[in-house]
Amino acid sequence: MLEWLGMPVAASAHAGQVDFIMVLVHWLMLVLFVGWSAFFFYVLVRFRRRANPVATHAGLQGSWSTWVEGGVLVAEVALLAFFSIPAWSARVDAFPAETQSTVVRVVAEQYAWNVHYPGADGRFGRTTLQLLGPDNPLGLDRADPTAKDDITTINQLYLPVDKPVIVHLSSKDMIHSFALPQMRVKQDVIPGIPQPVWFTPRQTGQWEIACSQLCGLGHYRMRGFYTIQTQAEYDAWLAEETALLATP
C-alpha cells in the first residue's frame, strides 16, 4: 500500500517505522470504509421504499454492531500501544549521545533557516542579541574562543549519512516548523522554547527544508535545502568551510 500513498522517499532510519504505521492505519481506514459502504449501499437498495414498502418497527436485531465497534476499539488500542507510543518514545526519549552524533543548531527567522555548526572544538560559540546584523543573523560573538571555528550557513544544511544527527532548534521571532519530509522529521520551532530533534539519515541526496507553520507573508518561500553526504564528502565540505573562515 505504501506505493499508493505516494509519500516522499523514506531516507532516515526511523522513516520505515513511521511509514509502516501509516500503512497499518490506512488499511484499517480502508477496511472500515469499504465495510461500512458495502453495508450502506446494500441497505439503501434492499430497503428502498419500492422493495420494502412497510418498515419494521424493531429494526436490526442482534449485537454484531457491538462487535464491530469493539473491534475498532481493539485495533486502535493496538495501534496506540504497540506502534505509535513506542515509536514516539524513540523520537523524544531515546536521544543519542552528542559525542556519537552530528550536532548542529538551526535558528529559524522570517523567512530563513540559519545553520550553526560548532566546528572542530565541538562547542557552539556564544550568541547574543546585541550582535545581530545583516551579516551576522545568529548574533555570533567571534571574540568568544569557542566561536572561532564555528561555521554558519543560511538555508544550507549539510549532514553526513549513517550517523545520528541532533538538531537544536530555536526561533528568533515567530513559530516556524522545521520539516524534512524525506527524513520523516517535523518539529515546531517556538520562540523561547528551544527544542532538539534527532534522526539518522540513511540515504544521500539533496532535498528541501519546508517551513510547516504559518510564519508570515513569506511563509511560502521559507524554503531551505539539506544535503546528506557521505562522511568523506561531508569532511571535505567542513574543511573547505573552515579554510574560508581563515581568509577574512
Partner 1 sequence: MYAVTSLLFLLVGFLLILVIRWQLAYPGEPLPFLGELFGVANAPGGIILPEFYNQLGAMHGTIMVFLGVVPLAVGAFGNYIVPLQIGAPDMAFPRLNLASYWFYLAGGIVMLVSFFVPGGAANNGWTSYAPLSDLAPGMGQTLWLGGMGLLIFSSLLGAVNFITTIIQLRAPGLTWFRLPFFVWSQFITSFLLLLAFPALQAAAILQAMDRLAGTSFFLPSGLAVAGQALNVAGAGNALLWQHLFWFLAHPEVYVLILPAMGIVAEIIANNTRKPLWGYRLMVYSVFVLGFLSFIVWAHHMFLTGMGTTISAFFQATTMIISIPSVVILSSLILSLYGGSIRFTSPMLFALAFLPMFGIGGLTGLPLGLATTDIPLHDTNYVVGHFHYLVAPGTIFALFAGIYYWFPRVTGRMMNDTLARIHFVGSLICMNVIFMPMFIQGLAGVNRRLWDGGASYEHAQGVLALNIPMSHAAFTLGFFQLFFIVNLFVSVKRGRKVDANPWQATTLEWSPAGAPLRAYRDPYEYSVPGALTDFTPQGEAKP
Residue whose cell numbers read 544535503 = 227
CB nearer to partner 1: pick between 86 and 122:
86
Work out whether strand 185-189 and strand 176-180 pair parallel, antiparallel, or are unpaired. antiparallel
CB nearer to partner 1: pick between 45 and 246:
45
CB nearer to partner 1: pick between 39 and 231:
39
CB nearer to partner 1: pick between 165 and 215:
215
- Minimum distance, C-beta of residue 149 to partner 1, in the bound complex (Å): 25
- Minimum distance, C-beta of residue 126 to partner 1, in the bound complex (Å): 14
189 membership: H or E segment, kind and range: strand 185-189
Going from the C-alpha of 31 to that of each of 27, 37, 67, the distances in angstroms are 6, 10, 15
Reply yes or no: is the peptide bond before residue 226 cis, omega within 30 of 0.
Answer: no
* Strand order across the beta sheet in which 195-199 lies: 151-154, 112-117, 102-109, 165-171, 195-199
CB nearer to partner 1: pick between 115 and 215:
215
CB nearer to partner 1: pick between 74 and 239:
74
Which amino acid, residue 65? S
- Minimum distance, C-beta of residue 102 to partner 1, in the bound complex (Å): 20
- Minimum distance, C-beta of residue 246 to partner 1, in the bound complex (Å): 27
- Minimum distance, C-beta of residue 64 to partner 1, in the bound complex (Å): 10
Collect all residues with Cβ–Cβ distance below 8 Å to 207 and sequence separation of at least 6. Answer: 8, 11, 180, 181, 182, 225, 226, 228
- Minimum distance, C-beta of residue 228 to partner 1, in the bound complex (Å): 15
Other beta carbons less than 10 A from residue 107's beta carbon: 22
